[in-house]
Amino acid sequence: MSERTLTIGFVVDVMLGRQVNAVGNMEMPGRFWGNALPLMRNADAVFANLESPITARRNAWRRCWKAFRFRANPWMVDALTAGNIRFVSLANNHILDFEAGGLDDTIRNLDAARIAHAGAGLSLIQAARPAVLEIAGVLVGAISITDTMPEFAAGPDRPGTHYLPIRDDRATLALIATQVDALRGAGAQLVALSAHWGVNLRPWPSMRFRRFARAAVELGVDVFHGHSAHLIHGIEVVGRRLILYDTGDLLNDYWVFPGFRTGRSCLFLARVTTAGLVGVRAVPMCITPGQVRLAIGKEGGRIASVLIRQSLRLQETIGDCVPETAFTPSTELMEASRPAPAGTETICISSLHSAAEIA
C-alpha cells in the first residue's frame, strides 16, 4: 500500500484588522482569498502566521512604543476557516497588541473554530508548547518561535510569545531538538517549524539565519516556514526537507513601501509523506488591500523569476544543499492545484533525489 501524500499550503502574514476587518463586516469570509480560494481548499491544510489578535477588546498595548497595533473582531475567524487554514503561528510582534486579554480571546476563538495554534500563551509553558493536529490521517507537529518584540516574551507566569533569539549555538539548538523529539514521541509523523524572524524588508536571509534553518532540518524538522520580511525569499531543499526562508505577505491593508515588492507573494504547496518531502509548488499571488488574487501571465512570471533567482543564489552560496537541482519553467499545473486559470506561471525544480515543483 502506497504512502499517503499530503499537500500542505504555507502562507505567511494574515492580518485581519483595520480595513480587512471593515470589509469583513460586509463580505462573505471566502471573499478575501479571491481566485486563490480553490487552491487553498484543495490542499489538505494551510499553515499561516496570524498577524493580529482576534478580540473585541479595546485596551491596546502601551508598555513600550509601537508604531502599529492590529486587532480583528471575533467573526473574522471565519475567514481563516474559509481559507482552509488549519494552523496559525502566534509567535510574532502583534499578537499582544491588545494585551493578555486579547491573546486569551484569540486562543479561545481559534479553539472554538478548531484551528490549531502555537507560539503564544498565558505562560511560557503554554507559549512554547507545540501543536499537534491530524491532517488526512497523518499527525503533524508544529513548533512556533519568534525573535521579534522581546517585550512580548512570555515568562513563567506572564502571558506572551515563544521568544527565542536566532542562534546556532548548542543551547539554542538543544531547545529545538527537545521539541522535535517530544513531538515524535507524541506520535507526530511530520514536523513543521514556524519562525517569525528578523527585521522587515530584508531582501535576503543572513548566514546566521541560514545556519539555524539548516540545523533545524538536520534535527528533524521537515518544513521550516520563515516569515517577517514581507518579501519572498528563495527556498532550499536539504535531503527530503524544505526550507522556506520567507514567504512574503498574504492578507493585509499595508502601505506599499517604495522600492519594495511587498504586494508579491506565493502560496507554497508542499507535497509530503511521512518519509519527507516529495515536492513543492509555489503559486505566485498578488496582494491588494483586503484581498488576494493569483498572479497571471507576465505578472506571475516576474514573481517566478525572482523566486528562481533567489533559490539559485542559495545554491551558489551553500553548494552542498541539492547540487543536482535545476530550475526550469513549465506550463503544467499538478492535479492537486486545479482548478487554476490558464496562464498561471509554473516553475519546476528537478533533482536526482526528488521532484519538487513550484507553480
Percent of the chain exceeding pLDDT 70 equals: 76
Q: Worst-scoring range by mean pLDDT, 49-53, 85-89, 152-156, 211-215?
A: 49-53
Residue 94 confidence (pLDDT):
87
Confidence band for 201, pLDDT divided at 50, 70 and 90: low
pLDDT band, very low/low/confident/very high, at 297 (cuts 50, 70, 90): confident
Opening angle at CA 153, ends 199 and 127, nearest 5: 110
Annotated domain spans of the chain: 6-358
Please, which pLDDT band fits residue 319 given cuts at 50, 70 and 90?
A: very low
The bridge status of strand 120-121 relative to strand 160-161 is antiparallel
Q: How far apart are CA 225 and CA 195, in angstroms?
A: 6
Q: Kindly report the number of other CB atoms within 10 A of residue 352's CB atom.
A: 10
Closest CA to 340 of 322, 325, 353, 359: 359
Average pLDDT, the chain: 80
Task: Report the alpha-carbon distance of residue 149 to residue 169 in Å, rounded.
Answer: 21
Confidence band for 214, pLDDT divided at 50, 70 and 90:
very high
pLDDT at residue number 200: 65
| Domain 6-358 classification at class level | alpha beta
* Separation between Cα atoms, residue 172 and residue 153, nearest integer Å: 16
